[in-house]
Amino acid sequence: MSSCVFIDLSGTLHIGRRPLPGAIEAVARLRRAGFRVRFVSNTSSKSRRRLQEVLGEIGLDIAYEELFTAPLVVHRYLQRHALRPYLLVHPDLLEEFADLPQQDPDAVVVGCALEHFTYDSLNQAFRLLRKGAPLIATGRTVCFEGRDGLQLDAGPFIAALEYAADTQALVLGKPSPGFFAAAREEFSCPLELVTMVGDDAQSDVGGALAAGMRGILVKTGKYRPGDEARIGRPGAVVVSDMAAAVDRILREG
């Protein structure tokens, strides 16, 4: 069975609507070499359908079935536990949950809502949490690299809700071991044959290493000097960018 490469999206392959230098060709090289390439992301400001469209518009030819996202895992969890979510998410993500009942919500789901993190929306979530609703998060990433610099992700807002409601979020995206296990099962990738490439030292690389995979940190996107120390586990490889990561993967097989 061929090896499988899990690749993060934002900050690893692109920033906003701009592909990073060499990233598109790097993915193509992996495919030509026979590696199974899958895209695993905590991206929660767009549905998978819209995400695929946007990636295609900037030159990243990715099949819908190759995308594995945190909102997908959250949807499956809600469905399995028959929960009705209050969605504190970006409007572009709402279609991902459109098939679930949402009247009289009994769970709070938080994603990267960006400017839609308003006082009213956060307060509604707070009131539900105080009544006992579970807090479910796509991830608790602090920030991401936007078109004009670092931007707040969902993590700080999740921390605020945890503090206010005296609760603990169930994080279903990276770096949750369950997320990586679900991705491996989805794509039938044996643990020892998976390499994760990403720009987030903790969520991408630290999470992958904790799950028993190999991890490569790229110095693009949100990466800042010294992030290597935040990985938290030995065994990570640190390279300049996606092209260098592919060079390393192809050398090691």
Compute φ and ψ for 175, nearest 5 degrees: -95, 20
Among residues 171, 194, 209, the one where a domain terminates is 171
pLDDT number for residue 192: 85
| 115 and 159 housed in the same domain | yes
SS3 string of 19-63? ECCCHHHHHHHHHHCCCEEEEEECCCCCCHHHHHHHHHHCCCCCC
The answer to whether position 52 is within a domain reads: no
Q: Is 60 exceeded by the pLDDT of residue 146?
A: yes
Within a 10 A sphere around the Cβ of 205, how many other Cβ atoms? 33
Of 116, 150, 171, the domain-final residue:
171
149 lies in the same domain as 107: yes
pLDDT band, residue 239 (cuts 50/70/90): very high
**What is the β-pairing status of strands 18-19 and 14-15?**
antiparallel
| DSSP 8-state class, residue 231 | S
What's the CATH number where 228 sits? 3.40.50.1000
List pLDDT tens digits, range 164-210.
999 999 999 999 999 999 999 999 888 889 999 999 999 999 999 99
Q: Is residue 47 part of a domain?
A: no
- Same structural domain, 38 and 81: no
Structural domain for 210, as ranges: 4-42+174-252
Do 146 and 78 lie in one domain? The reply is yes
- Which of 169-180 are b and which e, b meaning 16 or more Cβ less than 10 Å from the residue's Cβ? bebbbbbbeebb
Q: Judge if 110 and 157 occupy the same domain.
A: yes
Q: From CA 247, how far away is CA 106, in angstroms rounded?
A: 48
Mapping DSSP to helix (H, G, I), strand (E, B) and coil, where does residue 143 land? strand
199 within domain boundaries: yes
Whether pLDDT at 1 is above 60: no
Count of structural domains within the chain: 2
Mean pLDDT across the stretch 89-112? 96
Please indicate, yes or no, whether residues 180 and 164 belong to a single structural domain of this protein. no
Rounded Cα distance between 92 and 114, Å, is: 11
Same domain (yes/no): 112, 197: no
**Residues 196 and 246 occupy one common structural domain:** yes
User: At how many degrees (to 10) do helices 70-80 and 177-187 cross?
Assistant: 90
Residue 57 domain-assigned? no
Which residue, 126, 152, 171, sits at the end of a domain? 171
Pair of tokens at residue 121: 């929306």
Indicate whether 181 and 162 sit together in one domain.
no
Of 201, 207, 218, 191, nearest in space to 23 by CA: 218
